[in-house]
Amino acid sequence: MKRALCLGLRFLLILSFVFTMLIQSSEEWANAATSGTPTSFKVTVTKIEMHNGTSYVEIWSGTSEIDLSTGGTFDGIDDITLPAGTYSLIRVTIKNAFPVKGDLTDGAIHYYTTAATWPGQTTGTASVGTTTAGNVAYYTFYNPAWGSLNASVTLPEQTISPSVVVVAGVSWIPTLRFTLTNKLTSTDTGGGGGYFTISAPDVTIVMP
Amino acid sequence: MKEPKAGESGDTRADSIDRRDFCKKAIKRSSIAAVAGVAGYIAYKKPAVRSFFGTKEAYANSTNAGTFSLKGDSD
């Protein structure tokens, strides 16, 4: 009887220990990573093509960067000549390099992005966080799924529906939109340290 | 014989010479006008073709073009 009681107590002790560990680990998990929206996210467009029913026509090529957080018209991609025709597809080529700046509160600590890469991580994937607001800086992320850092990425072609018929005087202005909400993640490594990572943004071309 | 009215020639031969002279002058005026018209047409046509790399197609494309702009934003 005593032995059974002893075994039962031991079982309860182990159970309470496991329960305590679970609670502790879930708290740590909650503090481990926080997601938010970057305050600045820059993208560079290098080429725009549109399909006229027969083939793709290069509408523009060059280098034009814009901060998508503030938005606006891409510098140089403004009032450019669009030959007459009926266009049903559009595709945009961008640079796989996205200068990002942001800050997040992870637990009780507020972190800011810096230009340095977190030790042990690949360049372009993890920004060292700083708690000093004055040291906030851009970090150039890239999306490994789209190739190497600075590589040219032709985004999937997008259907223009209904097709746009260009004649003299027609002005056609689509919008390149990145979904950035909660794409920036801050990870607290403990001891007042942390780093930022970014998830692949969703990209769409919004028709006018 | 009926008397000719004022301004009318009583001589049919003189009438015939007048008509011939009028026709000659009319033909001359028409040919000058035609030459001027053709010259004007050529003068009008040439600069338009020259302006766009010498091809009619390029000219047509340029005159029938629209404009394109690209905006960027986030959500």
Q: pLDDT tens for residues B3-51?
A: 555 555 556 677 777 888 887 888 888 888 887 766 666 555 544 444 4
Name the interface residues of A facing B (CB cutoff 8 Å).
41, 43, 45, 48, 59-60, 66, 68-69, 71-74, 77-84, 92, 166-181
DSSP-based three-state secondary structure for A102? coil
Give the pLDDT of residue A24. 42
B68 located within any domain: no
B66, A79: Cβ pair inside 8 Å?
Answer: no
What single letter denotes the amino acid at residue B38? V
Contact B67 A82 (CB under 8 A): yes
Q: What is the side-by-side order of every strand in the sheet holding B71-74?
A: A72-73, B71-74, A175-179, A202-206
Res A18: pLDDT:
46
Predicted confidence (pLDDT) per residue in A57-108, tens digit: 999 999 999 999 999 999 999 999 999 999 999 999 999 999 999 999 887 8
The answer to whether position A82 is within a domain reads yes
How far apart, in Å, are the Cα atoms of A58 and each of A48, A50, A89, A95, B60? 6, 7, 12, 17, 18
Indicate whether A27 belongs to any domain.
Answer: no
pLDDT score for B57: 42
Residue of A nearest to B64 (CA): A168
Number of domains in chain A: 1
Q: Do B68 and A77 touch (CB under 8 A)?
A: yes
Cβ-defined contact of B66 to A69 (cutoff 8 Å): no
Minimum distance, in Å, between the CA of residue A9 and any CA atom of chain B: 56
Report the domain count for chain B. Answer: 1
The answer to the question of residue B4 being in a domain is no
Residues of A in contact with B66 (CB under 8 A): 82, 84, 166-172
Contacts of B63 in chain A (CB under 8 A): 168
Nearest to A175 by CA among A55, A96, A92, A97: A92
- For residue A83, give the chain B residue with the closest CA: B65
Query: Residue B64: which of A73, A168, A171 has the nearest Cβ?
Result: A168
**A98: exposed, middle or buried (Cβ count in 10 Å: 0-12, 13-18, 19+):** buried
Closest chain B residue to the Cα of A64, Cα to Cα = B70
| Residue A108, domain member (yes or no) | yes
Whether residue B24 is contained in a domain is answered as: no
- Other C-beta atoms within 10 Å of B21: how many? 10
**B42 CA to chain A: closest CA distance, Å?**
26
Nearest one of A107, A108, A100 to A124, comparing CA atoms:
A100
Search chain B and give the residue with CA nearest A175: B71
Instruction: Give a yes or no: residue A173 inside a domain.
Output: yes
Q: Looking at per-residue confidence, does B63 or A41 come out higher?
A: A41
Asked, for residue B10, whether it belongs to a domain, the answer is: no
User: What pLDDT is stored for residue B41 in this prediction?
Assistant: 60
pLDDT on residue A11: 60
* Structural domain includes residue A17: no
Whether residues B69 and A175 touch (CB distance < 8 A) is answered with no
Determine the pLDDT at residue A19: 43
A3 found inside a domain: no
Domain around B38? 29-61
The ranges of chain A with pLDDT < 50 are: 13, 15, 17-31
Check residues B59 and A135 and name the one with the higher pLDDT: A135
